[in-house]
Amino acid sequence: MENIRLVISSRDTVGSLETFVRHWWISKYSYVGEENIYKAFKKLWAEDKIEAKEFIKELHSDSEIYIKIASPLQEDFKQQEEKSIYNALSAFKIFNITQQRAFLLSLFKARERRILKLDHQKEIMLFLERFHFMFNAVCSLRPSGIENSYSRAARDLQNASDQRRAREIINILKDSLATRIPDETVFTEKFKELKFYNGYTRDKKLIQYIFNKIERSKLVTNELAPENISLEHILCQANNDKEIIGKIGNLLPLSQELNEKAKDKLVVDKLSIYQESQYCLPKEFAAEYATPWNANAIAKRTESLAKYCYNNIWKI
């Protein structure tokens, strides 16, 4: 087990060996809590359903897959057609969720076994990214039953022997999760709570992720895919109500250089700087800007962004 522990600890944010073992177990055997794993193991051992050498061998092999799921690196997904898989896994890190890992472990193994095509893997991962963005990252809804659904799908996928059965299992999972998607009203109200300002950075990475997705949705090609987005406060932080200026409606994606250039200028004096940006949102704001830029205007833009996100980018 020490070799497995070394694999799990080789990357940041993977979690503990115990967490991996539980995710592995519920992807293969049965859905149990971490405290009952040993009891479940002893039961199968007593029934001669586990062979020690093969058990450890598979656990070690799957730990190598697991770290790519839990803490992905670009070098894990070198092919251009795998980029969306890396992006989805990176999004799960931003969302700070782990309940999907057991299913993803079986999903990656199904791909290795050639009972799942790459396009189908990408399709379900995009669905899961969209689902968890709305359900967890924005709305923070109660996840009761979801991990159990993932465990059931993971075990069924491990037992699947052909592409038809694999697709059937994935579609059943998608249908189950689709019933839990928050409606637009709930999503919008929670979206309005996102904020970022000096002293409150909890939502920063999520807001950067949102702007990245919006920018990508507006690009004709991926030649200028947004990277290293910094967050610009349209109405500056100095001498303004933090709860108002921190809202996503008062934020824009900008390069660090242009952000420094805009800094604490008046909004009207920032417009020419926004026009210099390679990103779409700053240019759109500059073109559509109307005075006054105040709390009401910020609230209106926040709601507009929520509507665009729900109906265009994360629509399932």
Would you give per-residue pLDDT tens digits along the chain (316 residues)? 889 999 999 999 999 999 999 999 999 999 998 888 888 888 888 888 888 889 999 999 999 999 999 999 999 999 999 999 999 999 999 999 999 999 999 999 999 999 999 999 999 999 999 999 999 999 999 999 999 999 999 999 999 999 999 999 999 999 999 999 999 999 999 999 999 999 999 999 999 999 999 999 988 665 556 777 999 999 999 878 999 999 999 999 999 999 999 998 999 999 999 999 999 999 999 999 988 999 999 999 999 999 999 999 998 8
Residues 27 and 156 both lie in one domain:
yes
Cα(9)–Cα(32) distance, integer angstroms: 24
Q: Are residues 237 and 141 in the same domain?
A: no
pLDDT at 48: 83
Task: Output the pLDDT for position 228.
Answer: 77
* Residue 174 and residue 214 share a domain: no
Indicate if 110 and 162 belong to the same structural domain.
yes
- 100 and 197 co-located in one domain: no
Contacts 24+ apart (CB under 8 A), 138-147: 138/182, 138/187, 138/190, 138/191, 138/194, 138/206, 139/182, 139/186, 139/187, 139/190, 140/190, 141/180, 141/182, 143/99, 146/99, 146/177, 146/180, 147/26, 147/31, 147/99, 147/102
Give φ, ψ of 72 to 5 degrees. -70, 145
One domain for residues 100 and 233 = no
Q: Are residues 64 and 149 in the same domain?
A: yes
Same domain, 60 and 72: yes
Note down the domain range covering 198: 186-313
94 and 173 belong to one structural domain: yes
Q: What is each CA distance from 150 to 25, 99, 111, 143, in whole angstroms? A: 12, 7, 17, 11
Q: What pLDDT is attached to residue 152?
A: 98
192 and 175 both lie in a single domain: no
Q: Are residues 159 and 241 in the same domain?
A: no
Q: What is the pLDDT of residue 35?
A: 84
Say if residue 178 is in the same domain as residue 191. no
Number of compact structural domains in the chain: 2
> Phi and psi dihedrals of 47, rounded to 5?
-90, 5
